[in-house]
Every structure is written in structure tokens, then in C-alpha cells.
Amino acid sequence: MGLFSKYREAGESANDSNVERFGAPVRSLFTSTKVITLRHEITITDDNENVVYVARTKFPTIKDKTDIFDANDHQVAHIEKQIFSFHERHFVNMADGTEFQLSNEIFHIIKDVTNIEGLGWQLKGNFVGLNFELFDANDEILAVISQKMISIHDKYCIDIYKPEHEKTIVAILIALQHMMVDRKNSEAASSTVSN
């Protein structure tokens, strides 16, 4: 996995190295975060820029409570952060009753590994290069996630290889975005304290 982001905009071709490794994605989705809003809101669109999902975070909130809805405003998932955890743990409850949690393995220097406990899946990535790969319990690719390097709207592209798991993959993507923001905030806080 390269150090540089493999992000692409809607309508652009899938990243060549991803296609070489995994084939062409079945479906691609794109996220954008509203910058000025009373609540944190992430919009997820398809290749034609149609809104497919919306994630809304209650504000103010300590547990980072987020709900994901589909285009018909039906709830897809609920996500909450565990307040005190070295593993940056997030709990996800899907509308169909499936429950799982994201938990970062600690002591990985080059590549971050996030276990999706309850599903047996794993998210492997690079918080520096902003590229992530989601694998199922059989180590088969489910999705590739890439973040735009510089964007005030915190944009992500997600190439999905197993569309039957789309809603679960979207919930993992939203939890990942929250983990990335948490990490940036804690790094900024620690650099302020050390100065």
C-alpha cells in the first residue's frame, strides 16, 4: 500500500494499483462533511452524486453518538465511542440487530490495524497515507477506503467489492472518520501542551 492517498472524485477511474490487486470495485461511494452546522453531518453519495446515506452526530456529545440514515431517512446504524480506551473503541449497532465494535490494535508503527470484533473483519491501513483496506474473516477484500489529503470537507472515497455488506461497510467508514478526527484532535492537544 502506497504512502500517498489513493483518493479519487466521483466519475474518476478507480486507482490503478487497487484494480491490479483486487479488480474493479462493484460500487463506489464518496463522503463529504458539512463544515458549518449545529451538528456534525456526513453525506455519502454515489458516482452520480446522489445522496445514499447521511450520518448525523448529536452535539454536544461526550460519547460521539452518531446515527446513519439511508436516502429514505430509515435508520441504518447507531455508533458510540467508548470514552476511556487505549484502543479507540467504537460500538456499532446495525438496524438489523447486528452488533460489533471497532478496536485499534496498539503498538503498530507503520500500519494501523483495527479489529472489527463481532464480525471477524479487519481494517488495515495507514493513518499517514490515508489509505485503508477492509478484509472479511476469510481475508477477502470487502472495500478500499481513501481520504483526500487536503480538504476542509474531510472527503473519503470508498470502493466496495462485496455490495451485500454495503451498510455495514458504510458504518465502519463513518466510525473510521470519527477515529481519524479524534486522533487529529488528540495530536493537536498534545502538541499544544508540549509547546
Sequence spans of domains, the chain: 16-194
Each residue's pLDDT tens digit, 147-161: 876 554 478 899 999
Q: Confidence class of residue 111 from pLDDT cuts 50, 70 and 90? A: low
Which strand (E) or helix (H) includes residue 166? helix 166-194
Q: Which cell goes with 66?
A: 452518531
Residue type, 18: N
Architecture of domain 16-194: Beta Barrel (2.40)
Q: Which cell goes with 132?
A: 485503508
Q: Is the pLDDT of residue 128 over 70?
A: no
Average pLDDT over residues 56-71: 82
